């Protein structure tokens, strides 16, 4: 596609973008949120029509008037959300929408055979009879792609497909994508993650503010160069910068302490201390039990054994409301579903955890709520052009996350527990959130971050606890936090070697 332009309501979001995708190669499409990646893709799929520019397929100009045209051209897009039917089997899902029938009756044998064919052709090892809801996330992702590839696909767009996958699952997905590439499919891979570019991409295109900021073979780029083209500012230094100050202080008061904390079948005998003014990280692969551990600290799960001591109080919090009263704040992993109050204003979102404090006799004055916004907008540098009353849903991912974080500042929480604090946040905003978290620690808050992102942990933590299969297996303290050590401690192989299991 070349010279692509697209405007919404008088605002041009694509300013003449060129993009060339070649069969048998993986093109990584990078860019911050709002750079125009999704808009460009939606032009390809016929969801939007470009205002200007041309799209050629095999040298022939095409007019993608509708999603149907795009489909007939062999364009397929896999979005982050699953579009499968979880209660049906793998085979039914592959045939979905085109069930072979004879006289109105479904030909189950044909459904099976077709699924077996598709799976074999793509070299996918899935049982056609299995219910999709029982599959792992990576398998569902692969099935999703397999469904899309059934029929003649020549262009496959993957939109951040690994955001919910563990490291091993990512490998399986990558292997599958490489096989597709080797079969001659053109692949556009949208991502935020630079390590994935290294692992997968043949070519790279970076979008910034609706323009192509950089393009070329992947071999010609290094990470710093990619980051520089994505954010266009000199932020990369800051991102690469290691933390100058060393806050670790064994004498600081423990704000939250776990003692032999266990949850049947999830984690066991976990002991850790989070001190005021420190950032404590729990690092582990998806499914290691760290998320559930964080939930227990916030009263969302009750321990089967052991204690949680919050600011000297040994009683276990039994509900979020109680945990909040005792000074614990929580930033959940799924911002849209669990963090944001969509439809409510930024000011409401910042103040929600403090409403009962801000109200007088149950009456909550709008001016008081607006003052909360004024109090934190600069501290957190939240960008909301329409001010306190702007619907939080219309903010960018980074600003949304800051609104969720700021809630606990307003509430004066002593302990802040975060789960995957920068998931779905672009590189520039990520650096800002790290700065905010450091600011919180400097204010004397005990920050506990649960993360499966190794870069994040290295960038952020004063102390890292590594969790593997429900156990804390290693603890590192700055400056002795080492990438290699973290990776090997968090992977199952080393655990098997250290302590052979049944």
Partner 1 sequence: MSGDTSTTPGPTEHRRSLARSFGAVPQESGLVVFLVLLGLWFTLGSEFFLTGNNLRNILLSVSVLGILAAPSTLLLISGNFDLSIGSAAALCGVAFGMVAESHSLGLAILAAVGVGLAAGVGNGLLVAYFGISSLIVTLGTLSVFRGVAQLRSNGQTTRLDTFRWLGSGEVLGVPVQIGLFVIVVVVFGLVMRYTTFGRSVFAIGSSQQAARLAGIRIRPTLFALFVLSGLLAALAGLILSSQLRAASPNTASGLELSVVAAVILGGASLNGGRGTIVGTVLGVLILGTLNNGLTILSISSFWQEVARGLVLILAVGLDQVRLRLRGD
Residues that bind partner 1 (CB under 8 A): 7-13, 15, 34, 36, 51, 209-210, 298, 300, 320-321, 324-325, 330, 332, 337-344, 348, 352-353, 355-356, 359, 362-366, 393, 407, 411
Beta partners for 468? 471
Nearer of residues 57 and 352 to partner 1, judged by Cβ: 352
Least Å distance between CB 310 and partner 1?
Answer: 15
User: Phi and psi (nearest 5°) for 353?
Assistant: -75, -10
Least Å distance between CB 386 and partner 1?
Answer: 12
Q: 469, 492 in Cβ contact below 8 A?
A: yes
**Measured distance CA(54)–CA(18) in Å, rounded:** 9
Nearer of residues 13 and 188 to partner 1, judged by Cβ: 13
**Measured distance CA(454)–CA(285) in Å, rounded:** 10
Structure tokens at 91: 């085979």
- 3-state SS class at 118: helix
Bridging pattern class, strands 279-283 and 463-468: parallel
Least Å distance between CB 221 and partner 1?
Answer: 24
Q: 233, 262 in Cβ contact below 8 A?
A: no
Least Å distance between CB 258 and partner 1?
Answer: 20
Nearer of residues 13 and 138 to partner 1, judged by Cβ: 13
Closest listed residue to residue 36, CA positions, set 199, 289, 156, 205: 205
Nearer of residues 93 and 345 to partner 1, judged by Cβ: 345
Q: 196, 29 in Cβ contact below 8 A?
A: no
Least Å distance between CB 8 and partner 1?
Answer: 7
Least Å distance between CB 39 and partner 1?
Answer: 9
**Measured distance CA(229)–CA(215) in Å, rounded:** 10
Least Å distance between CB 159 and partner 1?
Answer: 18
Rg (CA), the chain: 25
**Measured distance CA(409)–CA(406) in Å, rounded:** 5
**Measured distance CA(440)–CA(452) in Å, rounded:** 21
**Measured distance CA(114)–CA(132) in Å, rounded:** 17
Least Å distance between CB 12 and partner 1?
Answer: 5
Q: Which residues of 306-343 are buried (b: 16+ CB within 10 A; e: fewer)?
A: bebbbbeeeebbeebeebbebbbbbbbbebeeebbeee
Q: 22, 47 in Cβ contact below 8 A?
A: no
Nearer of residues 15 and 248 to partner 1, judged by Cβ: 15
Nearer of residues 343 and 484 to partner 1, judged by Cβ: 343
Nearer of residues 203 and 426 to partner 1, judged by Cβ: 426
Nearer of residues 34 and 225 to partner 1, judged by Cβ: 34
Closest listed residue to residue 138, CA positions, set 175, 100, 182: 175
Least Å distance between CB 174 and partner 1?
Answer: 31
Nearer of residues 173 and 450 to partner 1, judged by Cβ: 450
Map tokens 């919050």 to a residue.
310
């Amino acid at each position: 596609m070349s010279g692509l332009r697209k405007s919404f309501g008088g605002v041009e979001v694509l300013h003449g973008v060129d993009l060339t995708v070649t069969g048998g190669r993986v093109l990584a499409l990078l860019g911050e949120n709002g750079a125009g990646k999704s808009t460009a893709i939606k032009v390809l799929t016929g969801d939007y029509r470009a205002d200007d520019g041309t799209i050629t397929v095999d040298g022939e100009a095409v007019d993608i008037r509708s999603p149907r045209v795009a489909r007939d051209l062999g364009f397929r897009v896999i979005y982050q959300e699953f579009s499968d039917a979880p209660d049906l089997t793998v085979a039914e899902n592959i045939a979905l929408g085109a069930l072979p029938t004879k006289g109105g009756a479904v030909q189950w044998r044909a459904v099976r055979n077709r699924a077996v064919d598709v799976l074999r052709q793509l070299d996918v090892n899935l049982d056609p009879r299995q219910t999709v809801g029982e599959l792992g996330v990576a398998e569902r992702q692969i099935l999703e792609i397999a469904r899309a590839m059934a029929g003649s696909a020549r262009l496959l767009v993957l939109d951040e497909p690994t955001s919910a996958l563990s490291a091993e699952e990512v490998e399986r997905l990558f292997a599958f994508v490489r096989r597709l590439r080797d079969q001659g499919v053109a692949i556009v891979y949208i991502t935020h993650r630079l390590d994935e570019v290294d692992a997968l991409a043949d070519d790279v295109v970076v979008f910034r503010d609706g323009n192509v900021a950089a393009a070329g073979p992947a071999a010609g780029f290094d990470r710093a160069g990619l980051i520089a083209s994505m954010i266009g500012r000199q932020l990369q230094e800051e991102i690469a910068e290691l933390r100058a100050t060393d806050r670790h202080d064994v004498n600081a008061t423990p704000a939250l302490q776990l003692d032999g904390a266990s949850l049947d079948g999830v984690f066991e005998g976990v002991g850790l201390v989070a001190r005021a003014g420190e950032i404590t990280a729990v690092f582990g692969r998806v499914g290691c039990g760290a998320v559930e551990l964080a939930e227990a600290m916030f009263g969302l799960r009750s321990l089967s054994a052991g204690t949680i001591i919050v600011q000297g109080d040994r009683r276990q919090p039994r509900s979020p409301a109680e945990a909040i009263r005792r000074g614990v704040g929580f930033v959940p992993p799924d911002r849209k579903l669990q963090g944001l109050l969509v439809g409510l204003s930024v000011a409401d979102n910042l103040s929600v955890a403090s409403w009962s404090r801000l109200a007088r006799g149950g009456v909550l004055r709008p001016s008081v709520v607006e003052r909360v916004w004024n109090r934190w907008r600069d501290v957190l540098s939240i960008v909301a052009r329409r001010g306190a009353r702007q619907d939080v849903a219309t903010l960018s991912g980074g600003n949304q996350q800051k609104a969720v974080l700021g809630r606990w500042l307003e509430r004066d929480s002593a302990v802040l527990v975060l789960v995957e604090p920068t998931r779905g946040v672009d590189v520039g905003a990520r650096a800002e959130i790290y700065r905010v978290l450091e600011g919180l620690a400097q204010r004397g808050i005990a920050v506990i971050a649960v993360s499966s992102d190794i870069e994040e942990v290295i960038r952020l933590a004063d102390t890292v606890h590594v969790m593997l299969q429900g156990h804390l297996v290693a603890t590192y303290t700055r400056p002795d936090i080492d990438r290699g050590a973290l990776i090997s401690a968090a992977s199952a192989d080393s655990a098997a070697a250290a302590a052979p299991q049944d």
